[in-house]
Amino acid sequence: MARARTLTTLAAAGAVLAASLTLTTTPPIASAHPTPSTAAGEPGRPTTVSTGWTIPWGVSWLPDGSAALVTERDDFRVWRVSRDGKDKQLLGTVPESQTTGGEGGLMGIAVDPAWNTSRHVYVMHTSAEGNRIARMTYDGTSLTGYKPLLKGIKKNRYHNGGRLAFGPDGHLYATTGDAQDKPLAQDKNSLSGKILRLTKDGGPAPGNPFGNYVYSLGHRNPQGLAFDARGRLWEAELGDSKRDELNLIKPGGNYGWPTCEGACGVAGLTDPKKTWPVADASPSGAAVIDGAVYLAALRGKRLWRVPINADNENVGTAKAYYVGEYGRLRSVTAVPGADELWLSTTNADANGGQPDGSDKILRVPIG
């Protein structure tokens, strides 16, 4: 699958977090529904926005909501896709990228919430020395000025994490896997098995609980990050052989791996808010909209919806949608200014076994 290309010219690119810094203007989106007819607040039948993809991984929207940027993992390519899906433009490739022959490559993408003045775009990708977070500048015509901000995050064939998201505090959050070196997840001085919190210039964000990049620890392979309307951070995490997790992340929290998988019940370790058998989930992308967390499931081949409570930390009953209909699901993203989700497949990876170009982006309308 690894098809690394020589650096090409990067054309106009940029992506922005759909929600504002206060996260109060996120468009309402509710649960998915398995039938064409819609109940109140639930999505109807998905339609295809764009085809011809090979492992689309990260999705982020331009400031005006006219188009989204999409990364392809193994080719390191960045594309611009118009809101209606009719215009798909190759913007170029991210330099110094490599695959790991497994899950590494070009992964997450996020844009500075102050993009209109800074023009900064952030990516997370695998390189020769390890996984890294880098910044580029989008001048309206091309994506230039590649600058690594944080290097040396341990890489492996599997468990690389890779998601990026800006928080309501204006800082950049990133997920990292344990790189199949389990003890690193409990090492506060390691970047692996963590959620990291960075400034826009790549330094440890002020107020981080351990005085370094680490925001939370004890993670195995986190791949979903999403903030709710109250500014709370929710995380989707792939388990080992027993339980996948939905966690409510707090600074300094220890989420248990490798001491436990799923609920721990151990003093000093934080239990997940929801768990699933790994065959039913293996969650990658996450989105929060209209009082619910949505998780795109890889092995489970379904979209999960978990209601959350604005007044406390309780969650409701999880419900699955589109089970097996579209194969492996990688990302789920709220469409700015509309009652819609974008949902991407990842069937062209090694586990999906489909040929290059077989993946697609789906639009999920909300009734």
Closest by CA to 123, choosing from 139, 101, 147, is: 147
The token pair that represents 94 in the structure block: 């991210």
Whole-number Cα distances in Å, 92 to 66, 115, 133, 348:
19, 20, 18, 20
What percent helix, strand, coil does the chain show, rounded to 5?
5, 40, 55
Cis status, amide bond into 258, omega within 30 of 0: yes
| Contact in structure between 313 and 248 (CB atoms under 8 Å) | yes
State the CB neighbour count (10 A cutoff) for residue 15.
28
Closest by CA to 328, choosing from 83, 96, 64, 53, is: 53
CATH class for the domain made up of 47-365: mainly beta
Q: What is the pLDDT along the chain (367 residues), one digit of tens a residue?
A: 434 333 333 333 333 333 333 333 333 323 222 322 333 357 789 999 999 999 999 999 888 888 899 999 999 999 999 999 999 998 889 999 999 999 999 999 998 888 889 988 899 999 999 999 999 987 767 788 999 999 999 999 999 999 999 999 999 999 999 999 999 999 999 999 999 999 999 999 999 999 999 999 999 999 999 999 899 999 999 999 999 999 999 999 999 999 999 999 999 999 999 999 999 999 999 998 888 899 999 999 999 999 999 999 999 999 999 999 999 999 999 888 888 899 999 999 999 999 999 999 999 887 6
